[in-house]
Amino acid sequence: MIHSSFLLPLAVAAVAQATAPHSDFKLTLGSISSTPAARRARVRGSTASLASNTRRDASTSEPLFDYFNGTDLQWYGDITVGTPPQNFTVVFDTGSFSLEVPGTACGAACANQHQFNSSASSTFIDFQSTSTITFGTGVGVDPVIGDNWQLVVDEVADTFSVAGLSISLGEFYLITNQTPTFLPDPFDGILGLSPESGDLFSAGGYPGIFGMLFVPESEGGAGELTIGGVDTTKFNGSLLYSPQVDEGNWQLASEGIFVNGKTASILQNNLTLIFDSGTSNMLFEQSIAEAIYGMISPDIAPNTDEPGTYGIACDLVSTLPAVIDITFAGISGQDVFNLTIPSSELSSGPFATKPELCQTLINVSDGYNLVGLSLLKHYYSAWDIDNQRIGFAPNGF
């Protein structure tokens, strides 16, 4: 899924249907009533006087917690919604544009999640619009089968706050029903932080930039989201930035991919890569995925039981070098630079139905290329909405 409940920008929803068990919450949209821009305009038009005009002088940070289920799957943190505030946990998802939390109407279907009581909030608005969201991937190694990852949501608005950022009235989706696949999630919902989320930051009085640190379970599992700046104590050296390309998603142009120091002609073609903090592994078009796997080991092969996934005998994983370097252009005044995925990320763990076979980190997508947490957790990342660029530095843990 673009995660436990995440909305992809509508521009890519049509292609986000490849089954990829570790790419938490890539989804498709069933019946969204209007475009993101139209929905934002409607809320701004009716509540503009409530938005903050106070410019903050300092950034603010929120701890992130690792959901570990055999492998590092997802990091999530706290928010509040409503007046008086009700507490929720969400994944902060750079691959989506909206906030989604369960409502009390979800009842037993959301028994393991906190549920928003709209009648207890004095600032709640119900737009009387219902949508169905069907996800193309889920959490963990289990494949998506038909519509077994699905949400029913109402379009609403209310106050909400994360760290020191407070929105007097903003639109979000209230989950009224969900399939049982969502129940094990330790978090309640999703807050989208797409490149188009500048209104969120300006309404809260912060510059349009945020920093993200994802600490693996083996290193303690505690990450951080910083709103309105970056936390310079959490990374080493200077941030190297690459410019955003296209619109809708956080996307950078790759100038080449290298595997164990070598490359192939197909990997030297310019590729646009989506950077998604709501996805655990990587998704590439089949030709790219197979070119990378071919340079690692001939023993990596498709798992026909779970279309779109690949695997290798678990007892071979430790014998394989699998360092992947991806080259990106720097901004003006900065040279090109590499981001590295180490060999430790090759295996996502055993398949449930074939425990002798370990799932490898790249799944096949249908027409797009995406980088998730298997890369991001090795770097501190700065997501600069105001200047439309992403920066990276080695993390300091």
Of 110, 67, 80, nearest in space to 277 by CA: 67
Q: Phi and psi (nearest 5°) for 49? A: -70, -15
Opening angle at CA 324, ends 393 and 244, nearest 5: 50
Q: Whole-angstrom Cα distance, residue 257 to residue 262?
A: 9
Question: So which residues are the catalytic ones?
Answer: 93, 276
> From edge to edge, which strands make up the β-sheet containing 310-313?
301-302, 310-313, 357-360, 347-350
> From edge to edge, which strands make up the β-sheet containing 251-259?
337-341, 324-328, 251-259, 271-275, 369-371, 282-284, 362-364
Q: Tell me the sheet residues that pair with 310.
A: 302
Q: Whole-angstrom Cα distance, residue 76 to residue 67?
A: 8
Other Cβ atoms less than 10 A from the Cβ of 211: the count is: 25
Of 356, 349, 289, 377, nearest in space to 21 by CA: 349
CA-to-CA separations, 324 to 236, 260, 320, 344, in angstroms, rounded? 21, 6, 12, 11
Residues in Cβ contact with 63 at an 8 Å cutoff, skipping those fewer than 6 apart:
77, 78, 222, 223, 224
Cβ burial of 220 (10 Å; 0-12, 13-18, 19+) is: exposed
Of 189, 172, 174, nearest in space to 112 by CA: 189
Q: Whole-angstrom Cα distance, residue 202 to residue 31?
A: 29
